[in-house]
Amino acid sequence: MTQATSKITPVTMYEPSGKIIMNNESLSAGASVSFEVFNSLITDNSVVIVNAADYFASGSSPSSYEVSAFVTSPGAVSFYIRLKNVTGSNKIDALRLNFSVLNTATS
């Protein structure tokens, strides 16, 4: 799945794991963005793991970013991914993110 128009464009993926290619919009030094991932597998007991796998531009690496995922509320059918540029320069990368949704036991 590729983000269509910007780094904040939501995506829809109804799989327990997948790959998201972020839009190559510029991200300023120290700035962060979040975007929503619609996924019907999310439950109140979901844990989402995400990592920056690689990039499709020059001058950066996955270590140029901090990436995290979070479910916002009980009963949600989506989660958010937050990306922060941890460098001192603007980055223009089509970063590839890998994610996995884990549903934990209820007791």
Q: In this predicted model, what pLDDT tens digit does every residue of 46-74 receive, in sequence order?
A: 999 999 887 655 556 778 899 999 998 77
First to last CA, the chain: 34
Report pLDDT for 18: 95
* Alpha-carbon dihedral 54, 94, 73, 71, rounded to 10 degrees: 0
- Does this model's pTM top 0.85? My answer is yes
DSSP SS3 for 16: coil
Overall average pLDDT of the 29-52 stretch: 93
Check whether 40 has a pLDDT greater than 70.
yes
